[in-house]
Amino acid sequence: MAEKKVMLVCAAGMSTSLLVSKMQKAAKEQGEDVDIFATAASDADNKLESEQPDILMLGPQVSYMLP
C-alpha cells in the first residue's frame, strides 16, 4: 500500500493524465511510494469517499469546487 494517495480532479478526468504520468515518474525517481490518480469533477465526491486520498488537487477549470 502506498505511503500517500494523491487525487487530481479536472473537468473530464483526462486533461490531467499527462500531469499524473509526470508526477508518478518523479515520485518513482525519488523513491517515493505514492499512488497518484485523476478523476472527473462529476465523480470527485465518490472517489473522495472510496479512495480517501491524503492530498486533493483541483485543476484550474474546477477551482469553483474548492469551497
At 47 the pLDDT is: 96
At 53 the pLDDT is: 97
- Binning the chain into helix, strand and coil, the percentages to the nearest 5 are 45, 25, 30
Burial class (CB in 10 A: 0-12, 13-18, 19+), 36: buried
At 16 the pLDDT is: 84
Report the top-level CATH class of 4-65: alpha beta
At 65 the pLDDT is: 79
At 13 the pLDDT is: 64
Q: What is the model's pTM?
A: 0.86
CA distances from 59 to 2, 5, 11, 28 (A): 23, 17, 8, 23
> Exactly one of 7, 9, 10, 27 is catalytic; which is it?
10
Active site (annotated) includes residue 7:
no
Q: Are strands 4-10 and 34-40 parallel, antiparallel or unpaired?
A: parallel
Give me the residues of the chain with pLDDT under 70, please: 13-15
pLDDT in tens, 38-49: 999 999 999 999
